[in-house]
């Protein structure tokens, strides 16, 4: 996210007030669109499949930029829906760099002396498991968080959902559904944006969902270096999104309340 300016002043209680001013994001966080706090799901408060694909492409482009195109590289450390904000056109921007880490120029993947930091870097449900074992902060940790995020965006299930207890978690829940039971785990609010469709459209949607969930699972492998590299994940996600949009665009119409597929 772009920082517009900063300010330093005194508040009404006479205390120091310091703030960073960011660009206003009128559509709030991704979290509010995935997990509706009140009311019934409608076209106006849920996301279509196409919107979700666009959003995750934006997120992955941002992560690839931080890891591979910044000098020195930056590790976000807290990738989750509440830290992803949506602009007026529903484009996604990555925010909240409060616990980010910059990789030493002398190292390609591991932050020097990162074991000296206090506590696990990240949020429960999204933080890479190796961090809990005292491992150094790496870009692979962000990739793990990305995997959880991808599963959450397309299943509508939070990794801290009450249904995930004992041996069941979002990773296993999603992986077990591949490929035959993908419709059982897909977020049903997506279908509010979808009208009647033929077998070709259903097959295209199913293929898209299987590829996205499989990509998310590939980012969650136990050993960090076995996880899909972010640059490879970005290329695959662009291909998945572009393939779906190429197929779906001729079928999109406006019904006055939103966009649906016919």
CATH number, domain 25-248? 1.10.510.10
- pLDDT tier, 134 (very low <50, low <70, confident <90, very high otherwise): confident
Q: Is 9 left (phi over 0), alpha (psi -120 to 50) or beta?
A: beta
Long-range contacts of 240-243 (CB under 8 A, 24+ apart): 240/53, 240/208, 240/211, 240/212, 240/215, 241/53, 241/54, 241/56, 241/57, 243/208
CA distances 237 to 83, 93, 107, 154, Å, are 20, 17, 28, 13
For the chain, which residues make up each domain, given as ranges? 25-248
- How far apart are the C-alpha atoms of 173 and 155, rounded to whole Å? 10
What tokens were used for 223?
């050993």
Q: Which residues are catalytic?
A: 78
Q: Write out pLDDT tens, residues 159-210.
A: 999 899 878 999 999 999 999 999 999 999 999 988 767 788 889 999 999 9
Percent of the chain with pLDDT over 70: 87
């Amino acid at each position: 996210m772009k920082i517009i300016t900063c300010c330093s002043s005194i508040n009404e209680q006479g205390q120091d007030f310091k703030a960073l001013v960011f660009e206003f994001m009128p559509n709030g966080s991704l979290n509010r669109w995935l997990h509706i706090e009140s009311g019934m799901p409608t076209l106006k408060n849920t996301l279509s499949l196409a919107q979700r694909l666009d959003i995750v492409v934006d997120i992955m482009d941002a992560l690839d930029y931080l890891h591979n195109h910044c000098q020195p590289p930056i590790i976000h450390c807290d990738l989750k829906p509440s830290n992803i904000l949506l602009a007026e056109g529903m484009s996604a921007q990555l925010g909240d760099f409060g616990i980010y880490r910059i990789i030493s120029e002398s190292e390609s993947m591991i932050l020097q002396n990162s074991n000296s930091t206090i506590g696990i870097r990240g949020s429960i449900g999204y933080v890479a498991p190796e961090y809990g074992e005292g491992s150094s902060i790496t870009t692979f940790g962000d990739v793990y968080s990305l995997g959880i995020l991808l599963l959450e965006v397309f299943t509508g299930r939070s990794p801290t959902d009450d249904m995930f207890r004992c041996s069941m978690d979002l990773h296993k829940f999603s992986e077990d559904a591949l490929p035959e039971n993908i419709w059982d785990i897909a977020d049903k609010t997506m279908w509010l944006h979808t009208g009647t469709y033929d077998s070709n459209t259903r097959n295209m949607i199913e293929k898209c969902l299987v590829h996205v969930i499989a990509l998310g699972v590939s980012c969650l492998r136990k050993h960090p270096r076995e996880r899909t590299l972010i640059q490879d994940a970005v290329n695959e996600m662009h291909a998945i999104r572009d393939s779906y949009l190429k197929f779906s665009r001729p079928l999109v119409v406006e019904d006055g309340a939103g966009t649906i597929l016919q």
